[in-house]
Amino acid sequence: MLARLTNGLTVAVRSGIAPLMVASRIVERRRSTSQEGIPERLRGWRTETKALLDDFFFATELAMAPMVSPRDRKRLSGELHGNLELFDNNGWFDDPTGYHGDPPPLEVTRIDELRARFLPYRHLRFESEYEPHPDAPGRDRWLEYEPNRTGHAWLLKHPGPPRPWLVCIPGYRMGSPLVDFTGFRAHWLYRHLGLNVAVPVMPLHGPRRIGRRGGDGFFSGDFVDTLHAQAQAVWDIRRLTGWLRSQGAPAIGTYGVSLGGYTAALHASLDSDIDCVIVGVPATDFSRLLQSHMPGIAIRAAKTIGVPFEAIEQLLSVVSPFGFEPKVPRERRFLYAGVSDQLTTPDHARDLWRHWDEPRVAWYQGSHISFLWQPEVRDLVHEALITSGLIQPQLSAFASSAA
């Protein structure tokens, strides 16, 4: 009863703060100026309406997202600095590839035939087999998240001869078939472009969740868990793409949005047998992302309890796409981003674009959530699939009209 009362009071206080935080973001947005390497944001009600969608999502997260308790400060600080020492002793800051290793081949444990709206799909299950390094602080707690130890993926597969696969990596809070298929326009990819589509479920999301909502625990303030979640995400995807190759896939592309964009960028640095990578509205720096959404008092409090953001940034560097050179050729790397993105601000995409030697990028006048209906996004994805050979050019006219 006491725990419920405490949680209720916390939600009430945070819900009261949320409108003030949103209002301050709107004021700051109107004061903001253009940034180097990012197209100028056009003013007007259309752009502001799109940005408000992001603000609404931010407000719900501020009110409802679970956060670690201050009582865990000793554990958080101890695990953080213990992992930093482990990584330094193993040389993983200098060569983060050694942190990841090579995952074993995937063995399917179960496949169910299901349907989401008008799309019949297969629900694939497998044992993730991801484990943090034996001496890593926080390892035992991570392995106790039982639902997370089973990997899941939604598959849209055509009958007949093998076809190219597009592996669509979902964003934060995604992880159900209907949401994932909608977010990636799976009907268009599968029905009109003729691709096979695989959508892996990210750790701690969907059927792998450990909290009330999918994604709880990924950005709760326990940064060692964030580290393991991201390491496991790319581990599972490497195994999934390896399994698709073993099933005769003639080509494989990856396409990630938001948090999935981060994962797709990291995957493109660890897997050399990928035909293209598309990254949309990406978060590319977790430390910067969290600081941009946290009030100054919370940032100062983190430093006071021994969890400074400089150490968090160093911890997460072993799973950062900026710590690697991509193995996918430059002409097969693609990005898109919104100049009014209020969740993963456009500097995230710009910095990845620069790190990737400035490949093809599409900027649109919109926000994070508005990527769902921006024509520039559809056109960029379509162009990427043609350029990389996953679909044939003659599909262009029909696919564009059908989309």
| Element containing residue 242 per DSSP (H, E) | helix 223-246
**The two three-digit tokens of residue 219, written as one number:** 């950005």
The arithmetic mean of pLDDT across residues 193-220, rounded, is: 94
344 touches 293 (CB < 8 A): no
Of 338, 350, 334, 337, the residue nearest 386 (C-alpha): 334
Backbone angles phi, psi at 173, to 5 degrees: 75, 0
Q: Which tens digit of pLDDT belongs to each residue from 263-308? A: 999 999 999 999 999 999 999 988 888 776 665 545 555 555 556 8
Class of residue 306 by CB neighbours under 10 A (exposed 0-12, middle 13-18, buried 19+): middle
* Residue whose structure tokens are 């769902």: 372
pLDDT band at 174 (very low <50, low <70, confident <90, very high): very high
Of 109, 141, 111, the residue nearest 128 (C-alpha): 109
DSSP per-residue letters across 372-392: GG-HHHHHHHHHHHHHTTSS-
* pLDDT beyond 80 at 126: yes
Q: Which tens digit of pLDDT belongs to each residue from 86-119? A: 999 999 999 999 999 899 999 999 999 998 777 8
Three-state secondary structure call for residue 72: helix
pLDDT band at 397 (very low <50, low <70, confident <90, very high): very low
Domains in the chain: ranges and CATH: 2-402 (3.40.50.1820)
Q: Which tens digit of pLDDT belongs to each residue from 230-274? A: 999 999 999 999 999 999 999 999 999 999 999 999 999 999 999
Tell me the pLDDT of the chain averaged across its residues: 87
Q: Which tens digit of pLDDT belongs to each residue from 55-91? A: 877 777 766 667 777 778 889 889 999 999 999 999 9
* pLDDT beyond 70 at 203: yes
